[in-house]
């Protein structure tokens, strides 16, 4: 009897679609024009973007911005906030920041979170995440890598993208193109201006999956206006201790881009 | 086919009008800030190259022209803050390539 119950439970568990976790930096906008406010709000999260699930997020290890070749530490600007999806029974921590954009240029915001222990996958997750905000028309560094352990370097300029544009990027692992890397793609259902929540007709629609070519280059056409997350996953060549055992670490290179409808 | 040879210079000439210089296909930009009573204006193409010898006009909040000048080899143009006001800097790089930047009064007071 117990074995049958256990088997049933296991079956239910296995039937759950594998949810894709995404580190996220979502700025209030991707482009600052001369007439726009110079205060930029940013949300830093660990989420299931399409399903709007939050995961508890510890204060990141690193959070900053690189502009005109200079790196600024923005960790002290982070303030905790709480959020949850309608299905979640409790609140989870995410982080907010406000950044004052003073000069023209590409602002590359980046995040290195604390390792997140995921018991059902028996591994740690670390998503190195970035997003590029352009200010005042100087498009100077969006295509330059930040030098993170793993990183998606955009081949399409990562702002001013129309809906249905093809987004291309190159996955780097320790600065070297990651051949045939798997890239997960998700739409942020909480995107500002999303007219109605996207309801996936079947589990594979939650997370789109594309593979990079031999040079680590991948492409994906984004069918809806809003924010899109791209996450290239690898296994780290280092481990972390958990309950006396060394556990594998999934490292993700994540980039967020925003599309808008042609009007 | 001698007519082709005759038309080639005409086509090339037309091409010159359609694509005068590659830089003109790019948007021109201007940005400015105030430090110790001096307005520092920077002009640039999207890739960061400076706009050399761009005409800069400075207007007050009433639209009155206060002064004019030209950007240097580095795309820069500086001048003493002419007025405690909202200033509009307009860059004109010719061929209809124009853009402007509004310098807030609060920024002038910094």
Say yes or no for a CB contact (<8 Å) between B101 and A136. Answer: yes
pLDDT along chain A (263 residues), means of 10: 51 52 97 92 97 96 97 98 93 97 96 96 96 96 97 98 98 97 97 95 96 98 98 96 96 98 95
Does any domain span residue A2?
no
The pLDDT tens digits of the residues spanning A60-77 come to 999 999 999 999 999 999
Dihedral angle over CA of B33, B39, B45, B49, nearest 10:
-110
pTM higher than the cut 0.80 = yes
Q: Where are the strands (E) in B1-110, listed by range?
A: 29-35, 38-44, 55-59, 65-70, 76-80, 87-92, 98-103
CA distance B77 to chain A (A): 16
Say yes or no for a CB contact (<8 Å) between A103 and B33. Answer: yes
Does any domain span residue A151?
yes
Chain B residues with beta carbon closer than 8 angstroms to that of A138: 29, 31, 44, 46, 48
Q: For residue B95, what pLDDT is reported?
A: 77
> What CATH number matches the domain at B25-109, 3.40.50.261, 1.20.140.10, 2.60.40.3580, 3.40.50.300?
2.60.40.3580
Q: For residue B9, what pLDDT is reported?
A: 56
Query: In chain B, which residue's Cα lies nearest the Cα of A137?
Result: B46
Which residue in the block uniquely carries the two structure tokens 């039937």? A15
Query: In chain B, which residue's Cα lies nearest the Cα of A142?
Result: B47
Residues within 8 A of A (CB atoms), B 38-67 only: 42, 44, 46-48
Chain B residues with beta carbon closer than 8 angstroms to that of A137: 27, 29, 44, 46, 99
Q: For residue A1, what pLDDT is reported?
A: 46
Of the listed ranges A228-232, A255-259, B41-45, B95-99, the least confidently predicted one is B95-99
Which residue in the block uniquely carries the two structure tokens 């080639």? B8
Does any domain span residue A110?
yes
Say yes or no for a CB contact (<8 Å) between A34 and B33. Answer: no
**Phi-psi group of A111: left, alpha or beta (phi > 0 → left; psi -120 to 50 → alpha; rest → beta):** beta
Does any domain span residue A115?
yes
Among A253, A116, A110, CA closest to A183: A253
Say yes or no for a CB contact (<8 Å) between A35 and B102. Answer: yes
The pLDDT tens digits of the residues spanning A186-198 come to 999 999 989 999 9
Does any domain span residue A123?
yes
Chain B residues with beta carbon closer than 8 angstroms to that of A103: 31, 33
For residue A70, what are the domain limits?
20-260
Q: For residue B23, what pLDDT is reported?
A: 42
CA distance B28 to chain A (A): 8
Domain count, chain A: 1
B33/A contact by beta carbon, under 8 A: yes
What does the domain layout of chain B look like in residue ranges? 25-109
Q: Which helix (H) or strand (E) holds A256?
A: strand A245-260
Q: For residue B94, what pLDDT is reported?
A: 83
Binned at pLDDT 50, 70 and 90, residue B26 comes out as confident
């Amino acid at each position: 009897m117990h074995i049958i119950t256990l088997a049933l439970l296991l079956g239910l568990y296995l039937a759950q679609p594998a949810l894709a976790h995404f580190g996220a930096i979502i700025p209030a906008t991707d482009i600052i024009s001369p007439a726009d406010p110079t205060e930029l709000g940013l949300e830093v999260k660990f989420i299931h973007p399409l399903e709007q699930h939050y995961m508890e997020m510890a204060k990141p290890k690193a959070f900053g911005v690189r502009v005109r070749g200079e790196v600024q530490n923005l960790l002290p600007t982070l303030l905790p906030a709480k959020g949850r999806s309608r299905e979640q029974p409790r609140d989870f921590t995410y982080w907010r920041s406000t950044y004052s954009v003073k000069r023209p240029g590409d602002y590359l915001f980046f995040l290195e979170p604390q390792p997140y222990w995921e018991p059902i996958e028996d591994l740690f997750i670390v998503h190195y995440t970035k997003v590029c905000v352009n200010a005042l028309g100087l498009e100077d560094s969006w295509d330059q890598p930040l030098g993170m352990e793993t990183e998606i370097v955009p081949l399409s300029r990562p702002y001013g993208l129309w809906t249905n544009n093809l987004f291309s990027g190159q996955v780097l692992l320790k600065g070297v193109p990651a051949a045939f890397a798997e890239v997960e793609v998700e739409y942020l259902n909480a995107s500002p201006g999303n007219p109605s929540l996207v309801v996936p007709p079947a589990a594979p629609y939650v997370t789109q999956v594309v593979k990079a070519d031999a040079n680590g280059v991948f492409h994906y056409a984004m069918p809806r206006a809003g924010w899109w997350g791209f996450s290239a996953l690898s296994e780290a060549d280092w481990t972390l201790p958990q309950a006396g055992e060394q556990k594998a670490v999934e490292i993700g290179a994540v980039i967020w881009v925003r599309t808008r409808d042609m009007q | 086919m001698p007519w082709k040879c005759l038309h080639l210079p005409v086509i090339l000439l037309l091409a010159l009008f359609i694509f005068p210089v590659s830089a003109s296909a790019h948007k021109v930009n201007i940005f400015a800030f105030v430090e110790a009573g001096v307005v520092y204006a920077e002009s640039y193409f999207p890739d960061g190259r400076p706009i050399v010898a761009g005409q800069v006009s400075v207007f007050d909040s009433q639209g009155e022209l206060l002064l004019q000048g030209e950007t240097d080899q580095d795309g820069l143009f500086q001048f003493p803050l002419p007025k405690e006001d909202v200033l509009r800097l307009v860059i004109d790089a010719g061929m209809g390539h124009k853009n402007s930047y509004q310098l807030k009064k609060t920024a002038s007071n910094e």
